[in-house]
């Protein structure tokens, strides 16, 4: 059995709907009207221990609801969830000691206290043994280069510093699974790379299962091994990042620089776009044109200085999936 098993899980919410103004408020008191929104609709997936998963979708797709059910905050209407042998919403008291949560827009640190005081408070809440606490504190502080601000009040920290401290706060009790919600939002380029490197290294050494919900596709590409995409409460894709290109990225482009200006003969199923006098872009579908045959034809007929093959960007493919442009 996998570390995380989500089977046919559904969740809908009842939303109070009333007319505006005082008359609508009064009418709603006596005859309330409701509408229902299906947030998650029969979703299923499994995750092995130690996997790093990108869990993404457009706004309103149901990803936050799913994460809340995985963390035990919400109870599913139907289906089942098992995480490390626990049913999150039933075994919540025992279960929360095995998870960590990082919210990019909401800190669990005490605003006016030094960072170290927040860590000491979490040590007491989670009842972390002294030896384990010191070991994790020293290790994470060094890995994330936090020595210079460990004794500063949280309100004096930069966003990048606060995010690093929040990540440590979620890991002090050695959780088996960590949920990251926008872990690098607003952080500068250097800070983002520091956080990503730390996450990768920790996963390799401690085999922690990590689930990321983020709109920053660089976080996904540089950290995650696998991607789960949901939309309108249903799973759209589940597999490796490379599989996104294989399934949805059917368009390729070939940028060619010729040694001199020349006229290009029409090529079947290939769109030729002039870039300048000597540069042309050849756009085609994988199913229609074999790239090696196209390159061979061009090299045979023309004198070429440079040639570059472009893969579709993951971010642009994800955007097309969200917009319903691919299926």
Whole-number pLDDT of residue 119 = 95
Most confident of 27-31, 165-169, 267-271: 165-169
Query: How would residue 117 be classed by pLDDT, with cut points 50, 70 and 90?
Result: very high
> Which residues, in sequence order, are bridge partners of residue 255?
281, 308
Shared domain for 175 and 47, answered yes or no, is yes
What's the pLDDT score for residue 152? Answer: 94
Task: Specify if 195 maps to a domain.
Answer: yes
Q: What is the pLDDT of residue 24?
A: 65
Single out the residue in 245, 271, 298 at which a domain terminates: 245
- Determine the Cα–Cα distance for residues 139 and 182; give it in Å rounded to an integer: 23
CATH of the domain at 255: 3.30.70
Query: Any idea of the CA torsion for 139, 144, 147, 153, to the nearest 10 degrees?
Result: -120
Averaged pLDDT for residues 196-213: 92
Pairing state between β 4-17 and 33-47: antiparallel
* Confidence label for 130 from pLDDT (cuts 50, 70 and 90): very high
| Burial readout 136-162 (b: 16 or more C-beta within 10 A, e: otherwise) | bbeebbebbebeebeebebeebeebbb
Write the DSSP string, 139-191: HHHHHTT-GGGTTSBGGGS-HHHHHHHHHHHHHTT--SEEEEESTTTT--HHH
For the chain, what percent of residues have pLDDT higher than 70?
A: 92
pLDDT digits (tens, 9 = 90+) for 171-186: 999 999 999 988 887 7
- Residue 327 pLDDT greater than 60, yes or no: no
* 179 and 101 inside one domain: yes
202 plus 306 within the same structural domain: no
Adjacent-strand bridge partners of 145: none
Residue 153: pLDDT above 90?
yes
290 shares a domain with 166: no
**Quick check: 120 pLDDT over 90?**
yes
Q: 32-36, 110-114, 292-296: which has the minimum mean pLDDT?
A: 32-36
Three-class SS of residue 22? helix
Q: What is the pLDDT of residues 84-105, one digit of tens each?
A: 999 999 998 889 889 999 887 7
Domain boundary among 200, 224, 245: 245
Burial class (CB in 10 A: 0-12, 13-18, 19+), 196: middle
pTM beyond 0.85: the answer is: no
Taking residue 34's Cβ as centre, other Cβ atoms within 10 Å add up to 10
For 98, the domain range is: 4-245
**Of 143-157, 199-213, 246-260, 273-287, the least confident:** 246-260
Question: Which are the contacts of 21, defined by CB distance < 8 A and separation ≥ 6?
Answer: none
> 287 and 205: one domain?
no
- Tell me what the pLDDT averaged over the chain comes to: 87
Confidence check: pLDDT of 167 > 90: yes
291/259 same-domain check: yes
- Whether residues 279 and 223 share a domain: the answer is no
User: Between residues 169 and 236, which one has the greater pLDDT?
Assistant: 169
Strands 304-310 and 251-258: antiparallel
Claim to verify: residue 213 and residue 132 sit in the same structural domain: yes
pLDDT in tens, 222-240: 888 899 999 888 998 898 8
Q: What are phi and psi of 188, to 5 degrees?
A: -70, 170
Write out the DSSP string of 244-294. Answer: HHHHH--EEEEEEEESS--PPPP-TTEEEEE-SSSEEEEEEETTT--HHHH
Residue 318 within a domain: no
Please, which pLDDT band fits residue 30 given cuts at 50, 70 and 90? low
Contacts of 29 (CB under 8 A, 6+ apart): none
What is the number of structural domains in the chain?
A: 2
pLDDT of residue 265: 87
In this structure, how many other beta carbons lie within 10 angstroms of the beta carbon of residue 253?
15
Same domain, 151 and 22: yes
pLDDT at 131 over 70: yes
CA 113 to chain CA centroid, nearest Å? 31
Verify that 139 and 209 share a domain, yes or no.
yes
pLDDT bracket for residue 260 (50, 70, 90): confident
- Supply the pLDDT for residue 172: 95
Residue 319 in any domain: the answer is no
Instruction: Please indicate, yes or no, whether residues 38 and 156 belong to a single structural domain of this protein.
Output: yes
Same-domain check for residues 171 and 272: no
pLDDT of residue 22: 72
Domain CATH number, residue 129: 3.40.50.300
d(CA 228, CA 58): 12
Which pLDDT belongs to residue 290?
85
Pick 212 or 318 by higher pLDDT.
212
pLDDT given for residue 47 in this prediction: 95
What is the rounded average pLDDT of the residues 8-34?
Answer: 76
């Amino acid at each position: 059995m996998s570390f995380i098993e989500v089977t046919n899980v559904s969740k809908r919410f009842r939303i109070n709907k009333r007319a505006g103004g005082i008359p609508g408020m009064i009418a709603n008191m006596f005859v309330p009207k409701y509408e229902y929104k299906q947030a998650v609709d029969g979703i299923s997936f499994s995750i092995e221990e130690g996997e790093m998963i990108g869990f993404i979708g457009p706004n309103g797709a149901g990803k936050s609801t799913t994460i809340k059910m995985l963390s035990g905050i919400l109870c599913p209407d139907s289906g089942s969830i098992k995480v490390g042998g626990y049913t999150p919403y039933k075994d919540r008291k025992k279960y929360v000691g095995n998870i960590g949560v990082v919210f990019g827009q909401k800190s669990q640190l005490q605003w006016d206290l030094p960072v170290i005081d927040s860590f000491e408070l979490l040590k007491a809440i989670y009842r972390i043994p002294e030896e384990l606490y010191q070991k994790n504190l020293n290790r994470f502080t060094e890995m994330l280069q936090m020595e210079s601000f460990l004794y500063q009040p949280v309100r004096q920290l930069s966003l990048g510093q606060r995010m690093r401290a929040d990540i440590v706060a979620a890991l002090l009790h050695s959780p088996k699974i960590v949920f990251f919600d926008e872990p690098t939002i607003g952080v500068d380029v250097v800070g983002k790379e520091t956080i990503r490197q730390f996450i990768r290294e920790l996963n390799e050494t401690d085999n922690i299962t990590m689930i990321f919900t983020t709109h920053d596709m660089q976080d996904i590409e540089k950290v995650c091994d696998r991607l789960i995409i949901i939309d309108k409460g249903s799973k759209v894709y589940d597999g490796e990042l490379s599989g996104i290109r294989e399934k949805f990225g059917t368009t390729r482009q070939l940028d060619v620089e010729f040694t001199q200006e020349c006229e290009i003969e029409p090529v079947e199923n290939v769109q030729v776009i002039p870039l300048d006098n000597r540069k042309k872009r050849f756009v085609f579908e994988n199913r229609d044109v074999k790239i090696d045959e196209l390159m061979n034809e061009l090299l045979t007929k023309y004198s070429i200085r440079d040639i570059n093959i472009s893969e579709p960007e993951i971010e642009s493919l994800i955007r097309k999936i969200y917009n319903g442009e691919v299926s």
